[in-house]
Every structure is written in structure tokens, then in C-alpha cells.
Amino acid sequence: DHELNISAFTARCVASTGATPYGAVLAALAALQGPKHGGSTYQVAAFMRDAQIDARAAVSERLRRGEFIPGFGHTLYPQGDPRGRALLDMIAQQLPSTAVSATARAV
């Protein structure tokens, strides 16, 4: 997805020490859980849960606290993350009349 991301880099560093494959994978999984990497999925889930109740309030509250809005502001995609567009298209196709689809459109 982004070539040498932090979890892949961590696995390679640990493997280069002669650690077992289990150790390298464990280290990569530990890196993946960080809130700026794979752990961000938990933040997205919490945001979507709040946005289902009130999308405008969910966005404005996060901005007021200085938090990011999932899908916006990725440093590699200043013009917008193409993965987000693909996900929104899939939601519209697979879940057209659901709360998830309505929330995604509202945000």
C-alpha cells in the first residue's frame, strides 16, 4: 500500500538481527497497533459511531479538540486519499440503504 510502512520496516529490522520469524512478526504487529498506523481503525470506528448520531457534531467536536477527521489530511495525499473514494464507492454499492452508507455520505 505504501511500500515500506512502519510495520514492514519494523519486521525487516527485527529479522535483520537474526530473530525468529515469530519475533519479527510479533514486532511488526506491535508497531501496527499504534494510533498513527493500524490502530487508527479504532479511531475510525469511534468516529463513525459518533457520526451516525450527529455527523456535524462529530466533525466539529473533533476539530475543536484538534483531532483529525478520518480520511482527510493524509500527508501522502494532500488532494484526497484515493483509497477513501474506493471505500465510499464500495459502501454505496454493497450497503446502499444502511446507516453506514448514510453516515459516510453525511461526513
Return the DSSP state at 68. Answer: P
Q: How far is CA 8 from CA 56, 68, 74, in A?
A: 36, 24, 19
Domain boundaries, the chain: 1-38, 40-106
User: What are 6-64's pLDDT values in tens digits?
Assistant: 999 999 999 999 999 999 999 999 998 887 788 778 888 899 999 999 999 999 999 99
The pLDDT value given to residue 53: 92
The pLDDT value given to residue 78: 85
25 burial (CB, 10 Å; 0-12 / 13-18 / 19+) is middle
What is the pTM for the complete model shown?
0.64
Cα–Cα distance between 81 and 85 in angstroms, integer?
7
